[in-house]
Structures are given as structure tokens and as C-alpha cells.
Chains A and B, each alone.
Chain A
Amino acid sequence: MGGILRYIAGRTIQIIITYFIIIIFVFLMASFLPSNFVGLLAFSHFTPQQMAYLKAQLGIGLPLWESFVVFFVHMVTFNYGNSFYYGVPVMSLVEQALPRTLLLLGEATVISYIIGYVVGTFAGWKRGGVLDNTSIYFSFAFYNIPTFWLGIILLYAFAFLFPIFPLGGYVTPGIQGMLPAFISLQYHALLPMIVLVLISLAGALLLMRTSMLDVLGEEYINLAAAKGLKERDVLFTHASRNAILPLITSFILSLPFIVSGAVVTETIFSYQGIGYLFISSIDRLDMPVVYALTFIIALLVLVFNLFADILYGVLDPRVRY
């Protein structure tokens, strides 16, 4: 038990260091590129209060080192100040938007990986069979569809031609009460979630199938069958139980891309989560929000990486901390 705690501690330190490096990286990007965000100030119409904020919070206008210190301190303490556009503290915007995104992403990821796990297991087991080939074609196709286009097509089909789903937003305006609001939220999240599920499913399916093929070549599968186990048990107790491990690794590596998918999907469906907020803030040059979201999202990715690593450790006894 001590081993795992030590591992978490070690990884947390790693995360912090990586986070620091990311802040430095973004700062360098923002400071040294030609049309950097500072330069943008030249022709965007910031009010004096906004200028004051920028100076105080981000160190704009100060010499490089001081600027960096100000920036760094504020970013690590999550002190982002107020949004230019909304005028409210950035964290309050994030508090509102983040749960919506987590709901969307969380549900989509869980669903797609569960389906991927189950279908991939069967697809790999009956290699060359109908399910296998269908899964492969499906995965190939959906792996190569641009997320935004898929979103529009689904909107076109199911919110326009056959209007089952709403055209956008995250909740029906004017809704009262917790439960109706929750249902409305789910209803609105449904179409974006379908998009996300389809996209991640492609990757998860393929990977699970490949992983299954690897595992099926292992001797212990033969052993399991030789012991007289039922087909189902061989499949799930032995084969996919091992095949899922690379799936977790891939999940970790694909997190940054899942987040990207969320950004696009939210924008298409006007689903006011973190991704939507990010894109609209960049368009509006709402700097505090842009910085805040960049770092928060990066941090989230890092934290989820850690969760996945721990999960991997739980599932694979060969990994010992």
C-alpha cells in the first residue's frame, strides 16, 4: 500500500513540474512570437481597467523577467482575475463550464470505451468474421471523419431533417427545477455525446481488437480453452482482461485528443462547456479566460493521466510501485 502512495506522490510532483514547464512554455510563446498577445494589445480596444489588469496579472508591459514572475505567480495560484467580456471572475465562468464539459466528456469516454471493450473483444475473437470486418470498416471510417463535419451532419440529419434533437445550447432556456434541468442537460448533451462516442469508439475499438489479437496469440488462452472453460470465460476472464491493458495506455495517450474533440464538438453544438468558452474567448481576445482555460485544461489532462496510470496499476499486477 505504501508503494502506491509513494507512486502517487512521485507522479504528483512530476505533474507539478510539467505544469510549471507548460506555463513557461506558454509564456515564451506569448512573449516572443510576432503577433503575440501583448502585441495584439496594440490595436485591440482594451479599456484602462483591462490594461491595468493585464499589467498586474500578466505582467504586460513590464520587463521580461518581472513580467514572467507576475505571470507565473498568478497562473500557479489560479488567480486569473476577471473576464474582459463578461466582467465576472474567470474562475466562476470555469466553475460553470467545467462540469458541463466533464459530464459530456466523461459519459462519452466511458460509453465509447465500454462499447469498444465489448465489441473489440468479440471482433478480435472471431477474426475475419462479420463483426470483425464491420468493426474494422467502422473504425477506419470514423477514425478519419473530421469531428466537426460529423457534428454538422448529425445536426443536419437529426436536428433539421428529422428534428429529434435540439440545434444547440446546453439546456433549454427558462427551465426550472433540478430534475427537469438535469434531463434537459442530458437531452442537449446527447447529440454532442453521440459525436464524441463515435469518434473515440473508432480508436478504442481498433485498439481493443488489435490488443485482443495480440493476446489471443498467447499460450494462456490455449490453456484456458484446454481447461475446458466456456467460450465466454476464455474471452472475458482471460483474453480481454489482458487485452484491456494497452487500452488504458492508449486512453492516456489519447486524452489530449479527446479534449480536442470536445472543443470542436462543443463549438458546433454551442454547448457551453470549457471548449466552447475557449474558442469564443480567443475570438473575443478575452485574455484572462484564454490563459486560464489553457492551463486548466492542460492540468486536467495531466491529472487524468495520473488516474489512468493508477488504474493500470490496479489492473496489472506486474506493475508494482
Chain B
Amino acid sequence: MKKYLNSIETTGAFRRSVRGVLRAFRRSPSGIFGLAIIIAFVIMAIFAPVISPYTPDQVAPYSIQFSGDIGTIPINISSVQQPLSIVSSLGGGVGSSVVTNGIMVFNEKGQSLTYNLGVTGGNHSQLKLDVKGSSYHSIPKGIKSLYSVVYYKSVGISYIGYGNDTVYLLYSNLSVHYLYHVGFNITHFSGIFNRYIYDPYLPTMGFAVSGGNHTFLFIEEGNFSVFTNSLSFYSFPLYFNTSYPVITNPLPYLYLDHSPSIIIPTTHKIYDYSINVSRQLTYYKLSAGNIVWSQNLTLRDGTPYSILKTGIVFPAESASLDYNQGKNVVVVPTTNGFILEYSTRNGTLMSEVQLESVIQHTSVPFQGGNLVALWSGVYVTNQISMPISFFKPDITYVTFWNPDQSNFTGISYTIAIPGKVHGDAQVIQSANMFMIPTESYAYYMSIVPPTKSSGNASTPILPMPSGSNYYPIYIGNILLGGASTIISGNYVITITNNNTIFYESVVGYKVSPLPPGNYKDSVTGKYYSYPLGTDYEGHSILSWIVYGARMELVIGITAAASAVLIGVYIGILSGYYGKAMDAVLMRLVDVFLSLPFLIFVILLVSLLGTNIWYVVIAIIVFSWAGIARVVRAVTLSLKTRPYVDASRAVGASNTRIMTAHILPNVLPLTFFYMSTGVGGVIITEATLDFLGFGDPTAITWGMLLQFLQTTGYTLLAPWWLFPPGIAIILLSLSFYLVGRAFDEIVNPRLRRR
């Protein structure tokens, strides 16, 4: 730069004038003020991580953003003894919404307490669980696990339980309807299968228990007819007993297939038993591998089976899944991070995907191996995908599998869960979430895959009392009012070691945007400080201001400088060469100057796309013309100066004259436009954001305001409304003042006489 400056004939004057300008600038109070503010913002931008402990994408914890219902119910321990388990009682409802109006706790000693529950509270945000009474019942001794069942009420069966080698079917008054000794030590219960198929010949309901390398299936028997609401002819059991040669570790689950077969995955193999008329079993060995299983996968198909006298189908949990219509595959994850898709017709491997290549955007890299995989298959409304989640003891990955295309939809995300996962993940249908319990927290992860605009799925984290022998379970929704169809609540319940039932509602009332203040995370006990409050998602407004400063400065300076430089270039060319070039260029400039600025910028941005740099380009395109015209005028007057003639006489080329003589004298005058232009760009960009034409991923103050507007909190959250606006005004104003200060120096008209 120095060398270039030295080569300019007007060097001495130029350097002297630069120094003089700086000296004069010091005398302008508004200029100094402006410069100070700019420097403050630059410091803010550079030291953003220091000023704001949170980044713009960090979200306030759930316990701060949501106020849900958390509480305890003391257990009347005089009636029952420890240890206790919980089962949810029946309430009614079909399909995806399990509605509960009570819970039961019981122990192996045959004691049980039933609590009748309701909720109080006029609206969703003030729900409180209400215990309306409790009663004591005795149940058969020896029951280790008890499950409430929805679908057998008409048969009178409300509970299915097991303990040691016995299966119990109980009535709603907890008396025994049926018990059966299966002959092996039962460790697992498959859940109730309920198939909604109008097939008169196939059983639609059943369950299974397994232990070791045995599995015992129960299905209803009787006259199979078209599924109606009156199931009086169903009774148990018609059972099916399998055992398989390999000792499984951990324990197997059952899968339904479309053909009348049973699929039992073990650690080494997947066994597919097809059941023929004569009830003989054949089986296929599917390929080996470190196969893990998941639970709660329910497969359903719509193709009618061929008519069989007996056909056995085995469902998993009651969650329904519209999976693989007619494709007859089972999707199995492995411990070493593969997902295998097998055909159940013939056991062939249809596709495999390596999880590592699928999981994107992970902050915690997939390390493979050691995968304790848990597979949740859940029906996602209107989507044919199902989420697959895997967790190691402390990390959960969620990706989405599109069974129709046998691939991953590609949208995946991870949450790192601190602490060991302790218990099975459970589906909370009506909230579209599933819950993953650790020893101290319950993580609620949204089932609905996030899209680009919705950002990360919300992961509320609620506390779980530590030191509980019992895993938390989702007990269902609790109806607000008896006959009301409003379902609300989504309660998860566990028993703590100090004889209380702990409950929490998953979906609380969102209290974001949060006003400025300090907030305590009731889960971790940490304090979160939001001096400017948060937005609707829980982002710190302060973080958006300081980090946003970076973007604003970058785009402001880039756009303004570019527009000015282009304008200078065109202006000098036009003014210097004159004649045809001047006529054409000035006609162009006239056209551009007559265009309504914002309208065309919006037009161009909507054509280019919503990327921040397209916005910058659009602004530049419609800003250069004004400067070009001014520069041309200046060039015209400079062209006639004597040193230009002198230069030409010496033989300097046109380019040289333009760059060495005209340009240095034009530039100081354009300083005003460059500086004030920055402010204009910042404001224009913010306006575009606000009107909806901005880049949704850009962290700018305009987007913050747009978000305010679209979430409807414009008039309700002044801490969100004012800071970005004030920041915009300050930054724009300071560039303007600096520009003016320089202009007053460089442009003699404005000087005091």
C-alpha cells in the first residue's frame, strides 16, 4: 500500500490530507461517539463467547421453559410392604391414546393399593394430579410383574401378570381368572398384541412370555369371526410353546410377521418360525451377527392372509405401526452399528446400512461397538418412517428409517444423555415422544423428526428421583373431567425408595419466552442467567445480540463496500471516457435509480433464494447506482484538472490516470457513502428478514425480530422486542455519524465558517 501511495503524484498532498482528516475527525464529537459505538460492537462481536455464556443455538433447559406437573403420592405403607411395583390401571380409550384414571401398586406378597386419579386445573397450564381415593386389594402371591390390559375388558380380564413360572390373568377386582404354569422361569413379557384385521380366521389378540430359550405364546381361541366389539367368545389359552437351541443373552422378544410366523431374535440368530396348519414348526435361521433387538415394534399389514385354520401372529406392544405395507421384512439393529433388513418370507438379507454413515449432525461422534441398542418402532402420523434409536449407556442416537425405501430419511439427530440409561425406552403416543430414563432424569425425546426449519427436536428433561428400584413407566393420559374428550397429562410414574409414588407430566406449559432474570434448573440445580431474557425456544437474547453483531458487521461492511466500489468503478469509467460509454452507463444508472429499492430487492431475493449472501448480493445490485452517479460527476470535474493533462502529456495510460489521479481524489468523498451505507444495509437486511425474505439460518438481529413476529409475541415480550431494534439503531447510527464526521471534513460545504 505504501509503495502504491508513493507512486502517486499527488502523494504528498494525499498523505498530508489523511493526517489532517484524522486530526479533524478528533474534533467532531458525534464522529467520536459513532466510532466508539462501532468499536464497542466489534469488541462485542469478537468477545461474544465471553460476554454471553450461551451460544445462539443453546436452549434453556426444559425445567426452566416448561412448567409441568411434578409431585408425589405417599403410599400408605401400613397396607402394603415393600418392595412395590406399579401398574397403570384401566381407564378406557382406544388405539394411540391410553387414558388412565387410576394406578395400582403391588408386591409379591399379594398386596395391592389402587389409587383413583383425576386432574384439576382449569386449563392445560395448571394441571395438577389429584388423588381421589385409594383402596386395598389382595392379589395372588408371587406376581412379579403385572400389566394392565385395555383390550380384554369385555372378557373381564384387566390384568396380566407373571411370576416365576406362572402366568396370571386377573379380573378387574384382581381375582384370578386363569393361571398357567409354563414350565420355565419367566423373565419377559411381550406386551399385548392386538391386530385390527378383519379376518375371520386369524386370532387378533395374544401375548407371550419368555425366559431362557423358551417362549410361550398365548392367543385367544374360539370361533373366529369378523372382529366386532363384542369379544365374548374369546378366552385363553390357546398356546404355543417354542424353544430354540441357542441360549440367548439378553432375552428375546417376539415380532409379528405378516405371514403366520413368529420371529424371535436372539443374540446370535433370528429365528423365524412359520406355523402351518398342522402346527408343526419349521424354522429358518437368518444370518448371524451381533443382533440386538428392540421392543415395542408392532407390525401390521393389510393384506389378507390365505385362509388357515389356525394362524398365529404375535404382536409387540400396543403401539401401532404402519410398517412396510406388504413387504414382510423385519428391521434389526446390531451391536456393531448395523441395521439389517431381512425378508421374512425366506430369510434373506435385503439391505444393510451402517449407522455411522447415517447419523449426521452429531456432536458426539458415533463410536460403534458396545452398542446397547434399543429399537423403538413407533407410528408417526402421516409419515411412513419410524424412528430408530440406539443408545449406549450414555448417548442416544435417533435416526429415521423409511421402510418404504428401505433407507434412512437422513434426518437424524443425537442427544447426549449424561448418566446411565436405566430402563427401557417407552413411547408416549399422544405427546409424540418417547422417554428414556436414566438414574436421575427422564429424557423425553420427540418422535417427530425435526425438519430444517424446526431445528432440534425438543428434549425436555425432567427429574427422576434417584435410588429407585422401579423403572419409570408411562401410565397414560389423565382425563380432564369425566366426560370430556380433552386428553391431557401424559404422566410418567415411578416408585421411590422412600415409599412414595413420584409422578411427572411430560408436556407442561411453555413459559418461554422468559423475561430477563436468573432461573434455576430444578433438575440439575444449575443457575441460568438471562440478562435479556429468552425467545420462545429458550435462546438467550443476549447471545443473539452479541453473536449477531458478527453477522451484521460482516454483511454490512461487505455490502456497503462492494456497492461503493462497483459504483466508483462505473462512475469513473463513465465520467472519464465520456461519450458513448457515458451515455450507456448513465442510462443504466437512471434505470436502476428509478427502481423502487425494496420491491426489487425483495423480488431478487425471492428469485435467488433465502441465503444471507443472496440478500447481500441483492442489496448491492440495487445500491451501486446512486454512488455511480455521484462519482461520475466528481470524475467529470477532476478530469479537467491540470495534473490530469500533465499526466497525459507525460504519456500516462488512461488506466494509470484513473487509478493514480482520479481514484484517490474520489475515494475520500465516497467514504461518506461507504460508512452510511453500512447502516442502510443493516436496516435493509433486517427489514427483509422481518418480511420473511431473510435467511432462516442466519444469526442476525432481523431474524430475531422475525421470529418474534411469527411466534406472535410481538406485543408480549418487550425484552425480545427492544434489544435487537436498539442494537440495529445504534450500529446503524454510529456508522452514519462516522460517515458524516468524515464528510464534514472532506466536503468543505458543511464546515463552519
Report which A residues bind B (CB closer than 8 A): 18, 21-22, 25-26, 29-30, 33-37, 140-141, 143-149, 152-153, 155-156, 160, 210, 213-214, 217, 253, 255-257, 259-260, 263-264, 267, 278-279, 282-283, 290, 293-294, 297-298, 301-302, 305
Cβ of B715 under 8 Å from chain A: yes
Contact B691–A156 (Cβ < 8 Å): no
Q: Which partner residue on chain B sits nearest A127 by CB separation?
A: B752
Cβ of B595 under 8 Å from chain A: yes
Q: Which partner residue on chain B sits nearest A213 by CB separation?
A: B750
Contact B687–A146 (Cβ < 8 Å): yes
Contact A144–B733 (Cβ < 8 Å): yes
- Taking the closest CB of chain B, its distance from the CB of A145, in whole angstroms, is 5
Contact A146–B725 (Cβ < 8 Å): yes
Question: Known interface pairs A21-B591, A146-B686, A301-B594. Does A152 touch B714 (Cβ–Cβ under 8 Å)?
Answer: yes
Could you give, for residues 700-734 of chain B, a 1 whenever the CB lies within 8 Å of some chain A CB and a 0 otherwise?
A: 00000100010000110010010001001100110
Cβ of B9 under 8 Å from chain A: no
Q: In the complex, how many residues of chain B place their beta carbon closer than 8 angstroms to a beta carbon of chain A? A: 43
Question: Known interface pairs A145-B729, A155-B715. Does A29 touch B595 (Cβ–Cβ under 8 Å)?
Answer: no
Cβ of B40 under 8 Å from chain A: no
Find the residue from B598, B686, B728 having the highest chain A CB count within 10 A.
Answer: B598
Cβ of B602 under 8 Å from chain A: yes
Partner of A156, one of B587, B687, B718, B736: B718
Find the residue from B594, B709, B729, B733 having the highest chain A CB count within 10 A.
Answer: B594
Question: Known interface pairs A144-B679, A253-B626, A297-B596. Does A264 touch B691 (Cβ–Cβ under 8 Å)?
Answer: yes
Question: Known interface pairs A33-B607, A37-B607. Does A156 touch B725 (Cβ–Cβ under 8 Å)?
Answer: no
Cβ of B597 under 8 Å from chain A: yes
CA distance A90 to B289 in the complex (A): 67
**CB-contacts of B586-624 with A (<8 A):** 587, 590-591, 593-600, 602-604, 606-609
- Taking the closest CB of chain B, its distance from the CB of A190, in whole angstroms, is 19
Could you give, for residues 562-606 of chain B, a 1 whenever the CB lies within 8 Å of some chain A CB and a 0 otherwise?
A: 000000000000000000000000010011011111111011101
Contact B691–A260 (Cβ < 8 Å): no
Partner of A305, one of B594, B597, B728, B729: B594
Contact B594–A282 (Cβ < 8 Å): no
Contact B691–A144 (Cβ < 8 Å): no
CA distance A301 to B604 in the complex (A): 19
Report which B residues bind A (CB closer than 8 A): 30, 587, 590-591, 593-600, 602-604, 606-609, 626, 679, 683, 686-687, 690-692, 705, 709, 714-715, 718, 721, 725, 728-729, 732-733, 736-737, 749-750, 753
- Taking the closest CB of chain A, its distance from the CB of B743, in whole angstroms, is 10
Contact B607–A156 (Cβ < 8 Å): no
Contact B594–A302 (Cβ < 8 Å): yes
Residues of A within 8 A of B714 (CB): 152, 155-156
Contact B603–A29 (Cβ < 8 Å): yes
Residues of B within 8 A of A148 (CB): 686-687, 690-691, 705
Partner of A35, one of B591, B608, B725, B728: B608
Residues of B within 8 A of A297 (CB): 596, 599
Contact A18–B591 (Cβ < 8 Å): yes
- Taking the closest CB of chain A, its distance from the CB of B604, in whole angstroms, is 6
Query: Which 3 A-B residue pairs are closest in the complex by CB-CB distance?
Result: A260-B598, A149-B725, A144-B732
Residues of A within 8 A of B600 (CB): 294
- Taking the closest CB of chain B, its distance from the CB of A43, in whole angstroms, is 14
Residues of A within 8 A of B732 (CB): 144
A18-B594, A34-B608, A152-B721 are known contacts; what are 4 more A-B pairs with Cβ within 8 Å? A146-B725, A155-B714, A253-B593, A290-B603
CA distance A18 to B590 in the complex (A): 8
CA distance A297 to B600 in the complex (A): 10
- Taking the closest CB of chain A, its distance from the CB of B463, in whole angstroms, is 38
- Taking the closest CB of chain A, its distance from the CB of B408, in whole angstroms, is 23
Interchain Cβ contacts under 8 Å between A and B, 28 examples: A21-B591, A26-B603, A29-B607, A33-B608, A34-B607, A37-B607, A140-B736, A144-B729, A145-B725, A146-B690, A146-B728, A148-B691, A149-B725, A153-B721, A155-B714, A155-B715, A213-B750, A217-B753, A253-B626, A256-B594, A257-B598, A259-B599, A263-B598, A264-B691, A279-B692, A283-B692, A298-B595, A305-B594
Residues of A within 8 A of B599 (CB): 259-260, 263, 278, 293-294, 297-298
Contact A279–B691 (Cβ < 8 Å): yes
Residues of B within 8 A of A294 (CB): 599-600, 603
Residues of B within 8 A of A147 (CB): 687
- Taking the closest CB of chain B, its distance from the CB of A95, in whole angstroms, is 19
Residues of B within 8 A of A37 (CB): 607
CA distance A253 to B725 in the complex (A): 27
Contact B729–A141 (Cβ < 8 Å): yes
Contact A36–B607 (Cβ < 8 Å): yes
CA distance A264 to B749 in the complex (A): 34
CA distance A255 to B590 in the complex (A): 13
Question: Known interface pairs A35-B608, A259-B599, A301-B596. Does A156 touch B733 (Cβ–Cβ under 8 Å)?
Answer: no
- Taking the closest CB of chain A, its distance from the CB of B746, in whole angstroms, is 15
Residues of B within 8 A of A33 (CB): 604, 607-608
- Taking the closest CB of chain B, its distance from the CB of A267, in whole angstroms, is 6
- Taking the closest CB of chain B, its distance from the CB of A10, in whole angstroms, is 14
Q: Which partner residue on chain A sits nearest B608 by CB separation?
A: A33
CA distance A217 to B598 in the complex (A): 37
Contact A35–B609 (Cβ < 8 Å): yes
Residues of B within 8 A of A253 (CB): 593, 626
Residues of B within 8 A of A263 (CB): 596, 598-599, 602
- Taking the closest CB of chain A, its distance from the CB of B115, in whole angstroms, is 47
Contact B607–A144 (Cβ < 8 Å): no
CA distance A156 to B713 in the complex (A): 11
CA distance A30 to B729 in the complex (A): 34
Contact B687–A22 (Cβ < 8 Å): no
Contact B683–A144 (Cβ < 8 Å): yes
- Taking the closest CB of chain B, its distance from the CB of A140, in whole angstroms, is 6
